[in-house]
Structure 1
Amino acid sequence: MEQEQVNIIMHRMANILDNMQLAQFKRVLDELSNGVFEDIDSKDILQRFIDTKKLEGCSPKTLIQYRRAIEKLINDINKNIRTVITDELREYLTNYYPNSNCSKVSIDNMRRIFSSFFNWLEDENYILKSPGRRIHKIKSMAPVKEVYSDDEMELLRDNCANIRDLALIDLLASTGMRIGELVRLNRDDIDFYERECVVLGKGDKERIVYFDVRTKLHLQEYLNSRHDDNAALFVSLRSPHTRLTINGIEFLVRRLGRSVGIKKCHPHKFRRTMATMAIDKGMPIEQVQKLLGHEKIDTTLHYAMVKQSNVKNAHRKYIG
């Protein structure tokens, strides 16, 4: 492309673009005129994006999800990622849904990943405008997520095979911490006097969580029964007593749930149960948000399911 043509286009576009958009547009035209637009490999750009997200504090699991989804997009579309337009991205998502076993929720998660990626391309001046901006949230049915009933909680506690499992269940239930936060805890992190501990949450952000008296007593009993020198709060029962992993705790909870006949028994359910119980008992939603470590209150609202009996009582109180 001749420089004179670039200047003409720039003059025309100046009438419809603001200064920031004009600077981005000029960058694209300069690359076109210099013949370098196609020289930057899509996978090189992806790696720069992953590096940026890693620097921002995204978890390894999130980074893997980003890489898998975007690599598949690059391979399937088979063109430079900087040339993808909205219609191509929309068609890709539309065709992906019926041709796979993915739910609409999973497809919307992919849409959010692509939106994050293309917005980053725009911010970094790789493209003029993100093709994902006009692709909106994919609507899906919102299933009612279950919580543990009081009876189920007592069944789980009564059927723990050892004091370690009982202390672990109590700590999850009373703090509402994430399983990833639990496995990082060390013995020294526990403040028994204040009944609290500091956990490292998403984005390497610390917050304080609190536990009840029953959890305190069971934790102390468990720690007093140990004879190893591992700093981890929860370790395997057999030598060499290594720190429990996320997979290990998930397996432990599922096995315990099967033994008492509880379906969908998993660690994250304790977190949702704690949030629901707190709201049902009148805790302000902002405080629940703080306990759970959520940046946005909308996320907290998704976790907390208000019991129907409380809705009925509230109706009678306020409506009649």
Structure 2
Amino acid sequence: MINEFLLYLKNANRSKRSIICYRGKLQIFFMEMEVPYSSLTSSNIQERLTKNQKDWKENTIRNYLDCLRSFFNFCVEKGYIENSPLRKRETNYWELKNPLPNAENQIIINEYLEFLKNENLSQKEIIKNRGRLQVLFNKKKDSFKLQTSEDTEKWIKERQGNLREHTIHDYLYYLRSFYHFCVEKAYIKENPIKYQRVKEVRYWEVKIPILNKENKEMINQYLLSINVANYSKFTVRSYRDILQNFFKERNEVYSSIASTEIQQWLIQLQKRCTEGTVSFRISVLNSFYRFCVEESYMEKSPMKSRWSPRLPQSIPKYLNKEEIAKVRKQNEKDNPRDRALVEFLLTSGCRVGEVHKLNLADVDLDRRTAMVIGKGQKIRQINFSVSCAVLLERYKESRNDQNPALFVTNHRNPRRLSSKWMGTVVRRIGKRAELSSNLNPHRFRHTFATNLLEKGAELSFIKDELGHSNLKTTQIYANLPNQQLKLLYSRYMG
């Protein structure tokens, strides 16, 4: 039955990662169950989960319940059982579940959460908002209107030793969004949570205690070197997290760690991680040890090339013509900014991070070109369509602010639109268009490249348009489905 459910998820175009996650949780849950799924009751399930309550976080238990709920709902729909032993999800999931000390705060937060629901924000994201705001206002007796920027600074300083910087950023992001809503509703005059109050100045340095100080120093040297080499902030942080987690509890100095020890670590990693995750961590360790050898800190790397798993070559997810039409139709209902944003992403092939950095001065509407800063701080010229130029002109005319950014927030004091919010805009449009899977900005980039290839563009041209430094990266677009290859063959060969 579990295999039938997993096959159903595969046919429903759920991601490989999601299906593997479901498979793992169901295997663990049913491994010790002596009765069939059809005989389970809610008390059986609760008893099974309670056994692991001490070892599992609350979020982990919630994930197991969501997984089981989906499985049993599938069984009900197929007629294998009459009723699910798990209750349906809470109906008013957008409301705070615990009372706050200040009744006014509770009313306004619930109003904000309902606004997010009406804006078609996903249930998962709304519950995240709810949880963060619940924590932030749990002990706040004063009205939300009395919050000042000084209060925020104090809150940050009190937690900087206990919480990671990205966690503090996370809390401030949700709180800032709430206060933006309050400004829009005229409950307050200005937002007391200023943008990017917390700045991770030396983000490339190790942030957690490392048992061996020499390992810490070498990791920091390596991270500084890739930072100087213009690796993106996101990449440097990812490398930092992997290296510090690998070395944090190791007594041996990095140069004395044997290949067999690293291999044992990889074997344990393979039991709980996907092949893609394992491959990425191997590549990070490879890069670190290659740096150590090149800088003459050690003679030979302990890493072995045979360890890297052979990953299947994936086909990029792109929109077909029908899906593009659906997206554009839904986009017609949006404000000038969102219309221009979607058309720009669709016809320029830009990464969302590149669009985020764009300024008005970088865009030439007459020539329909823009100068973007890509990976490694490389500047390249991109092109966009006539319809996109028209929408950008309309959006430009609708603005009366002095912000230099190309895309800004729709607030009284506009700020540069974040990459995350661009993703939210695109995701909402995808939901309204009723696409078979979630829409994200990078899918527009894949669509742009695939359309160029369909029209006969050479890979070298597509490489330049996308800003790839290596043609091998662009070659993934050559792996079109058979149907597309037949269309291209009939077009050129008859």
Deviations 1:56-115 (A, max 9, x none): 1111111111111111111254421111222222221121110x2x21011101111110
How has the CA–CA distance of structure 1 residues 314 and 243 changed in structure 2, closer, same or farther, with 3 Å as cutoff?
closer
Provide the C-alpha distance between the structure 1 equivalents of 2:310 and 2:369, rounded to a whole number of angstroms: 40
Provide the C-alpha distance between the structure 2 equivalents of 1:157 and 1:316, rounded to a whole number of angstroms: 28
Q: Does 1:118 align with 2:118?
A: no
Partner of 2:342: 169
CA shift for structure 1 position 143: 4.1
CA shift for structure 1 position 307: 4.5
Aligned equivalent of 1:249, options 396, 400, 422: 422
Tell me which amino acid in the other structure corresponds to 1:282: G
Deviations 1:205-261 (A, max 9, x none): 000000010100010011011111111000111211111001111111111111221
Q: Which one is further off, 294-303 or 168-177?
A: 294-303
Provide the C-alpha distance between the structure 1 equivalents of 2:217 and 2:279, rounded to a whole number of angstroms: 25
How has the CA–CA distance of structure 1 residues 134 and 310 changed in structure 2, closer, same or farther, with 3 Å as cutoff?
closer
Partner of 2:366: 193
Runs of at least 5 residues in structure 2 that lack an aligned partner in the other structure: 1-211
Provide the C-alpha distance between the structure 2 equivalents of 1:212 and 1:317, rounded to a whole number of angstroms: 24
Q: Does 1:154 align with 2:328?
A: no
Provide the C-alpha distance between the structure 2 equivalents of 1:110 and 1:216, rounded to a whole number of angstroms: 42
Preserved contact between residue 190 and residue 196 of structure 1 (Cα < 8 Å): yes
Partner of 2:274: 103
Residue identity (%)? 27
CA shift for structure 1 position 154: 2.1
Q: Does 1:82 align with 2:241?
A: no
Runs of at least 5 residues in structure 1 that lack an aligned partner in the other structure: 1-38
Tell me which amino acid in the other structure corresponds to 1:103: T
Provide the C-alpha distance between the structure 1 equivalents of 2:379 and 2:489, rounded to a whole number of angstroms: 39
Provide the C-alpha distance between the structure 2 equivalents of 1:253 and 1:313, rounded to a whole number of angstroms: 29
Q: Which one is further off, 255-264 or 52-61?
A: 255-264
Aligned equivalent of 2:444, options 248, 261, 270: 270
Provide the C-alpha distance between the structure 2 equivalents of 1:177 and 1:273, rounded to a whole number of angstroms: 11
How has the CA–CA distance of structure 1 residues 310 and 254 changed in structure 2, closer, same or farther, with 3 Å as cutoff?
closer
Provide the C-alpha distance between the structure 2 equivalents of 1:179 and 1:119, rounded to a whole number of angstroms: 31
Provide the C-alpha distance between the structure 2 equivalents of 1:193 and 1:109, rounded to a whole number of angstroms: 43
Partner of 2:386: 213
User: Counterpart of 2:298 in 1: which secondary structure?
Assistant: coil
Preserved contact between residue 189 and residue 198 of structure 1 (Cα < 8 Å): yes
Partner of 2:143: none
Preserved contact between residue 315 and residue 476 of structure 2 (Cα < 8 Å): no
Provide the C-alpha distance between the structure 2 equivalents of 1:236 and 1:190, rounded to a whole number of angstroms: 19
Preserved contact between residue 315 and residue 477 of structure 2 (Cα < 8 Å): no
- Superposed, 1:1-20 pairs within 5 Å as none
CA shift for structure 1 position 305: 4.6
Preserved contact between residue 373 and residue 380 of structure 2 (Cα < 8 Å): yes
Tell me which amino acid in the other structure corresponds to 1:137: S
Preserved contact between residue 90 and residue 135 of structure 1 (Cα < 8 Å): no
Q: Does 1:306 align with 2:476?
A: no
Preserved contact between residue 275 and residue 303 of structure 1 (Cα < 8 Å): yes
TM-score (ref. length: structure 1): 0.82
Partner of 2:464: 290
How has the CA–CA distance of structure 1 residues 307 and 76 changed in structure 2, closer, same or farther, with 3 Å as cutoff?
same
Deviations 1:246-297 (A, max 9, x none): 1111111111111221222000000011111101110010010001111111
How has the CA–CA distance of structure 1 residues 96 and 276 changed in structure 2, closer, same or farther, with 3 Å as cutoff?
same
Provide the C-alpha distance between the structure 1 equivalents of 2:491 and 2:434, rounded to a whole number of angstroms: 37
Provide the C-alpha distance between the structure 2 equivalents of 1:313 and 1:239, rounded to a whole number of angstroms: 50
Tell me which amino acid in the other structure corresponds to 1:308: N
CA shift for structure 1 position 133: 4.1
Preserved contact between residue 354 and residue 373 of structure 2 (Cα < 8 Å): yes
Tell me which amino acid in the other structure corresponds to 1:287: F
Partner of 2:192: none
Pairwise CA RMSD of aligned residues? 2.0
CA shift for structure 1 position 312: 2.1
Partner of 2:434: 261
Provide the C-alpha distance between the structure 2 equivalents of 1:157 and 1:266, rounded to a whole number of angstroms: 14
Provide the C-alpha distance between the structure 2 equivalents of 1:49 and 1:193, rounded to a whole number of angstroms: 45
Tell me which amino acid in the other structure corresponds to 1:122: V
CA shift for structure 1 position 319: 9.3
TM-score (ref. length: structure 2): 0.54
Preserved contact between residue 276 and residue 305 of structure 1 (Cα < 8 Å): no
Aligned equivalent of 1:144, options 312, 315, 319: 315
Q: Which one is further off, 264-273 or 39-48?
A: 39-48
Aligned equivalent of 1:130, options 260, 282, 301: 301
Preserved contact between residue 275 and residue 304 of structure 1 (Cα < 8 Å): no
Preserved contact between residue 174 and residue 274 of structure 1 (Cα < 8 Å): yes
CA shift for structure 1 position 196: 0.3
Preserved contact between residue 121 and residue 127 of structure 1 (Cα < 8 Å): yes
Partner of 2:406: 233
Provide the C-alpha distance between the structure 2 equivalents of 1:181 and 1:314, rounded to a whole number of angstroms: 31
